[in-house]
Amino acid sequence: MKPLTRAEEEIMQILWDIERGFVKDILLPMPEPKPAYNTVSTIVRILERKGFVSHKSYGKSHEYFPIVSKDEYRTFIIKRMLEGYFDSSFAKLTKFFKGEESLNNKNYQ
């Protein structure tokens, strides 16, 4: 598994929420300004090539659904972060967040 780009992750978050849908269904919850239909279609096909998404065909239309769960991806990302930034130590991660006052909620609202 490889990390997703920001755009790929945004689409995966939507697919995890809606569970399955056509490109038009993925576009609906996206904030304005919405990307072009073709842009979303291209990203979904990239996600399919990467093994995150599959589809069911209805003639020329495709209904997409995730084949990697949100939990699987979350576990992968957290392990990667632990390995890359905290020497695979959950204790070091916890110590970092415990001492990091700038990460409280008011800074991200």
Q: Note whether 80 and 94 are same-domain residues.
A: yes
* Domain count for the chain: 2
Residue 33 is assigned to a structural domain of this protein: yes
pTM comes to: 0.82
pLDDT per residue as tens digits for the range 3-53: 999 999 999 999 999 999 999 999 999 999 999 999 999 999 999 999 999
Pairing of strands 53-58, 61-66: antiparallel
Q: Note whether 61 and 78 are same-domain residues.
A: no
Residue 1 is assigned to a structural domain of this protein: no
1: confidence class by pLDDT, cuts 50, 70, 90: confident
pLDDT at 15: 98
- Residue 43: closest CA among 69, 13, 19, 71: 13
Q: What is the extent of the structural domain holding 79?
A: 70-102
